[in-house]
Amino acid sequence: MAAYDFNAPRLFIDAPLQAGARIALDRGQANYLLNVLRLKAGETVLIFNGRDGEWRAEVMVEGRKAADLVCAERIREQEAAPDIIYAFAPLKHARLDYMVQKAVEMGAGVLQPVLTRRTQASRINLERMRSNAVEAAEQCGILSIPEVREEENLERFLNGLEKDRLVVFCDENAPVSNPVEALAKLGNNQAGLVVIVGPEGGFTDQERALVAAHERCVCVSLGPRILRADTAAVAALAIVQAVLGDWN
């Protein structure tokens, strides 16, 4: 990853990618390339669609405000998204934007809003969540766009989980101990996992019992300080990736 070209402009393209394919850009993308980045005909950008790997594409200018891209060569094969569901109680506005972006950067494969008794925001703009996910993937060289799921009641979400999926429950009431050691004791995890972080007000006792009742649940503390929910997202996913994920 150290040799990756982070200076090259990068776009998510929701279209099939193959050698020689010509892709018409929407107005916003064309404006970004021609007027913001000031690219000229023949210059190249990196493009990906979450399915066909990453391609180098040549800019074809069509007048002052329109442009197409032509796929030249594939430079990276498609990678599977990490089998990590990040389940979180939605936050309001900018803090939700931040949390979504950081969860994508940390390798979440699914973004699952869950509604709890103390959830701050009950109306969720899924299109905005997806836009933030795409932006984070574009900026960070990520090939797979996480699946953005509709909000779901916490109990219904838990009932729908596979029994062998590991649940990493970030519980503010868990004993303060070393979360790395707690996860390391689980050994190699092959069935995928879900990381659950609650709302600012915390889980109720009933909700805590529901999560802990899952067949494969480990309760972990994120340290001696109470973290805001968006900070907890980064802390929890970093620990999980370091011990059970693709950092290991």
Q: Give the pLDDT confidence of 9-67 residue by residue, as tens digits.
A: 999 999 999 999 999 999 999 999 999 999 999 999 999 999 999 999 999 997 767 88
- Name the average pLDDT for the chain: 90
Contacts of 201 (CB under 8 A, 6+ apart): 118
Can you give the pLDDT at residue 3?
A: 60
DSSP states along 156-176: HHHHTS-TTSEEEEE-TTS--
Contact (Cβ atoms closer than 8 angstroms) between residue 153 and residue 115: yes
Asked whether the domain spanning 84-243 has the same topology as the one spanning 10-76, the reply is no
- Spell out the alpha helix ranges (H) of 32-74: none
Phi–psi pair at 184, nearest 5 degrees: -65, -30
Q: Percentage of the chain with pLDDT > 70?
A: 95
Can you give the pLDDT at residue 189?
A: 62
Residue 111's H or E segment, with its range, is: strand 110-115
Can you give the pLDDT at residue 201?
A: 84
Q: Report the candidate in 171, 141, 7, 170 with the shortest Cα–Cα distance to residue 76.
A: 141
The domain segmentation of the chain, as residue ranges, is 10-76, 84-243
Is the pLDDT score of 1 beyond 60? no
Is the pLDDT score of 76 beyond 70? yes
pTM, full prediction = 0.90
pLDDT digits (tens, 9 = 90+) for 149-178: 999 999 999 999 999 899 999 988 887 678
Domain over 84-243 is classified CATH 3.40.1280.10 = yes
Q: Kindly report the CA angle at 180 between 83 and 178, in degrees rounded to 5?
A: 140
pLDDT digits (tens, 9 = 90+) for 190-244: 669 999 998 888 899 999 999 999 989 999 988 888 888 899 999 999 999 999 8
pLDDT digits (tens, 9 = 90+) for 183-194: 888 876 666 999
Q: Which of 92-101, 124-133, 188-197, 200-209 has the lowest mean pLDDT?
A: 188-197
Is the pLDDT score of 248 beyond 90? no
Strand partners, 110: 85, 147
Q: Which fold has domain 10-76?
A: Ribosomal Protein L25; Chain P (2.40.240)
Take residue 204 and report the two structure tokens written for it. 């109720």
